[in-house]
Amino acid sequence: MSMRHFLRLNDLSRDEILTLLHRAIALKALQRQGERYAPCGGRTLAMIFEKSSTRTRVSFEAGMTQLGGHALFLSPRDTQLGRGETIEDTARVLSRMVDMVMIRTFAHSNLERFAACSRVPVINGLSDDHHPCQLLADLMTALEHWGTLAGRTVAFIGDGANNMAHSWMEAATLLDFHLRIGTPDGYLPAPEIMAMAAGRVEIVHDARQAVQGADLVVTDVWTSMGQEEEATARHATLWPFQVNATLMAAAAPDTIFMHCLPAHRGEEVTAEVIDGARSLVWEEAENRLHAQKALMEFLFGLGPVAATHGG
């Protein structure tokens, strides 16, 4: 299989995503059965963190270890990037020494520049525009719960320009479900993402309208890293879009809830919802590990997912 990068969800085809999700479910079962599966012996994953994280670091590092490989944590102070070395030069050097690179950064263009000069697969651990690894975990969780995503309705509540909203939009176009984004005016998704998702995504400016008929309600923090100076204004504007018991009552009784974490209880979601019976947040968080193991296996050209697609 020729080298592939995973910078956004639509870097994979519909069939590849579905096969990868089913593979992630199988890898989860293997781990819970206590079976060792370590096809990545001798391989190294470099993890570059310009934005800090709990779930991204632990899931990638633990996942690579479980696959038999090794993971290196690199912050800006641990590399020459923090002293002005170009992204391109760092990519040229690192990709001669390691077998895969995961980057968690700000500008999505930085990922594209790195990938253009890399000899090894590059994974987007998060950028300001996209969070595709989180979507793999979310979609895996939904698939475990429902068995299929086709025909479902997902409501994303909050900042429509959020990287999670963008990745959910790509997921809707790939996997045949309807996405309704409940967001204030002025918090709309990027125009190019809107154009790509035409026909699959509906934008409304009322949270209650957004959740009506939804099978899944999703939200994210109101203020992402790098937006701290906007926190007060964001809180005031997004307050009517808090996911609380009243809002969930406007959805169907069996509607489920997800949040990519970290959560700010009392802001974008109340404790009653995130800790309630309809929340799948903890399964969703765990599934970062399994989905990313399946992704790394695929990008290395190993295992049944790669074999299905020419590896």
| DSSP state letters, 292-311 | HHHHHHHHTT-HHHHHHTT-
Closest by CA position to 141, among listed 2, 286, 307, 310: 286
Question: What's the pLDDT at 78?
Answer: 81
What is this structure's pTM? 0.95
Average pLDDT, the chain: 94
For 262, the token pair is 């970290």
Lowest mean pLDDT among 224-228, 241-245, 275-279, 297-301: 224-228
For 279, the token pair is 């929340």
Q: Which residues are catalytic?
A: 104, 131, 134, 220, 260, 288
**Number of Cα atoms under 13 Å in the Cβ half of residue 186:** 5
Query: Are residues 67 and 38 in contact, defined by beta-carbon separation less than 8 angstroms?
Result: yes
**Cis amide bond preceding 262, omega within 30:** yes
Q: Calculate mean pLDDT across residues 224-246.
A: 91
Distance, CA of 22 to chain centre: 17
Q: Inform me whether the pLDDT recorded for 310 exceeds 60.
A: no
Q: The sheet that has 153-157: what strands, in order across it?
A: 201-204, 178-182, 153-157, 216-219, 256-259
Residues 195-207: pLDDT tens digits? 999 899 999 999 9
As a 3-state breakdown, the chain gives helix, strand, coil percent values, each rounded to 5, of 45, 15, 40
